[in-house]
Amino acid sequence: MPVVRDVPAYPVPGYGLRVLGALEDAGFEAWVVGGWVRDALLDVPMHDVDVTTSAPWQETEHILAAAGMEVHETGTAHGTVTAVVEGLPVEVTTYRVESAYSDRRHPDEVRFVHDVREDLARRDFTVNAMAYHPERGLLDLFGGREDLACGVVRAVGDPYRRFDEDALRVLRAVRFACRLGFDVEPRTQAALVACAPELEGIARERVGQEMDGVVSSGRVSWALRHEFDVVARAVPALMPMRGLNQHSSYHAYDLLEHTARVCAGVEAFAGGVPTQALRWAALLHDAGKPMCVSIDENGHGHFRGHQRVGADICRDVLLGLALPHEVANRATALVRYHDRHLSATSAGVRRLLRRLDRACPGEAPSLAFQLLDLQRGDALGKTRACAQRAVELDTFEAALAAELARGMTFRVRDLAVGGGDVMRALGIGPGPEVGHALTTLLDDVVHDRVENDRDALLAWLVAHPCDTSALHPSNPA
């Protein structure tokens, strides 16, 4: 169980104290609330300080500005302004209560109140519904400190009402459980499952923010095993994985358990700090299998083409959740090649880097090492016999490192010739033929058909002219 203190393990930071002091010197009440209080009781340092106060937001803005702080109106409809103190933001919100949520996303009405206890009662989970003041101490009306000590996430009051107010809280509960390493309290858990379908009505970018938090926690394997009903509503592409028997001598588990093991394996092989793209790739690496399954006459399962289908699914999922395009591109490339056999020869290393560079220009070396961790995790998620593959990949990693140290050729710019050389050798002017010739030369170097030497490349180019007919399609009559 977590070790939880009776009071925060460290004092409120000076920039937070300045906000509290200014408001209370003006005759209002103010408390530090939310994540800082929770994490300070767990002895986890946190820089973000949020304050709640009895002052109307207009008064808050005036008071803090008069005290020399930069103030921005960041959410005045909900009573929130943000002060910038010592270069750090402090959100300050007026005590409030909220009416019904007709759209299950936004309160129909926000009413400002004078009692902090009313404000705490409308919050989502007990561990987030505590307030602290350096002089008045901890205000914990709903057993948040006890729930921290027990390692549980519990809704404040009626969990069904909390989730009916904002369905995104269903996924938020899973994120907090993952981040804190907690379980979900049974009654709250029942409400999670019952209310999970309402996630379909939430804007995908909001779902994406919470789901990315689940993935980034490093405990998505736990979420797949214990909160699949919620996670699969957030990412419907995961839904067909549950119970899918792979009918393969290489697989000891159904597709869902295999995926959970791959996610856990990636965390281990990456030392607990995989990239965002690698974590998503582990989650979605086999998302194409349900669409590609076939059973042969001997009862053996096959998933031909699942890598390409899975890559398309991965891209659609991540862009649909409004994750950054660069993350989607990297994860998609990892999924596309997660099952590819890797040859530890110079040509094999060059071929892999060439493919990865086409997918994500300039990122091939980093992606290659990430791909190794994905393949290692994939190996551990199969049968015991397949686990040996995780060790065998060390040979490829050594070859990769050696080739990169030697300055290997896998991009056009690595070639010993350039566009001017090509034009002079072929007697052509600028145009697409030049790029096509360079790309063809690169492929020939990557596949060991010619050495990356200027004279050798030019001689090869003259002796093996490129087919450029595809660059000039004929116009139909």
What DSSP assignment string belongs to 417-434? --HHHHHHHHT--SSHHH
The rounded percent of the chain whose pLDDT value lies above 70 is 95
Give me the pLDDT at residue 80, please.
95
pLDDT in tens, 255-270: 999 999 999 999 999 9
Give me the pLDDT at residue 45, please.
79
Give me the pLDDT at residue 106, please.
56
Mean pLDDT of 121-125: 94
Domain 151-234 sits in CATH 1.10.110.30: yes
* Alpha carbon 260 to its chain's center: 16
Range of lowest pLDDT (37-46, 247-256, 343-352): 247-256
Mean pLDDT, the chain, rounded, equals 90
Residue count of the chain, please give it: 477
State which H helix or E strand residue 351 sits in.
helix 346-359
Please write down the HEC assignment for all residues of 159-177: HHHHHHHCCHHHHHHHHHH
Give me the pLDDT at residue 299, please.
83
Give me the pLDDT at residue 468, please.
57
Question: Please, what CATH class does the domain formed by 14-150 belong to?
Answer: alpha beta
Dihedral angle at the C-alpha atoms of 283, 286, 288, 290, nearest 10 degrees? -110
Structure tokens at 220: 């998505």
- Reduce the DSSP state of residue 383 to 3 states and report it: coil
- Residue 104's pLDDT band (cuts 50, 70, 90): low
Output 448-457 pairs: Cβ under 8 A, ≥24 positions apart.
Answer: 448/346, 448/347, 452/409, 452/414, 452/415, 452/416, 453/416, 454/416, 454/417, 454/421, 457/415, 457/416, 457/417, 457/421
| Max avg pLDDT among 92-106, 236-250, 305-319, 376-390 | 305-319
Give me the pLDDT at residue 7, please.
75
- Reduce the DSSP state of residue 184 to 3 states and report it: strand
Q: What are the boundaries of each domain within the chain?
A: 14-150, 151-234, 240-406, 412-471
In this predicted structure, the answer to whether residue 474 has a pLDDT above a threshold of 70 is no
In this predicted structure, the answer to whether residue 420 has a pLDDT above a threshold of 60 is yes
240-406: CATH, from 3.40.50, 1.25.40, 2.120.10, 1.10.3210? 1.10.3210
pLDDT in tens, 357-402: 999 999 999 999 999 999 999 998 887 777 788 888 999 999 999 9
Longest distance between any two alpha carbons in the chain, whole Å: 88
Q: For tokens 């002060």, name the residue.
A: 83
> DSSP character for 67?
T
Give me the pLDDT at residue 477, please.
40
Closest CA to 154 of 136, 132, 179, 176: 176
Could you give the CA distance from residue 310 to residue 318 in angstroms, rounded to a whole number?
Answer: 12
Q: What is the pTM of this model?
A: 0.87
* Alpha carbon 372 to its chain's center: 19
Structure tokens at 452: 């990356």
Sequence-ordered list of residues with C-beta below 8 angstroms from that of 324, at least 6 positions apart, any chain: none
Residue that wins the pLDDT comparison between 406 and 230: 230
Give me the pLDDT at residue 472, please.
54
In this predicted structure, the answer to whether residue 316 has a pLDDT above a threshold of 60 is yes
Mean pLDDT of 340-365: 92
Closest CA to 458 of 407, 415, 399: 415
Sequence-ordered list of residues with C-beta below 8 angstroms from that of 315, at least 6 positions apart, any chain: 328, 329, 331, 332
Give me the pLDDT at residue 107, please.
59
In this predicted structure, the answer to whether residue 197 has a pLDDT above a threshold of 50 is yes
Closest CA to 34 of 82, 91, 75, 87: 91
CB distance 95 to 109 below 8 Å: no
pLDDT in tens, 206-217: 999 999 999 999
Sequence-ordered list of residues with C-beta below 8 angstroms from that of 318, at least 6 positions apart, any chain: 280, 327, 328, 331, 332
Give me the pLDDT at residue 144, please.
96
Closest CA to 175 of 123, 238, 222: 222
In this predicted structure, the answer to whether residue 297 has a pLDDT above a threshold of 50 is yes
Mean pLDDT of 217-238: 97
User: Domain 412-471 belongs to what architecture?
Assistant: Orthogonal Bundle (1.10)
- Reduce the DSSP state of residue 225 to 3 states and report it: helix
The rounded percent of the chain whose pLDDT value lies above 90 is 66
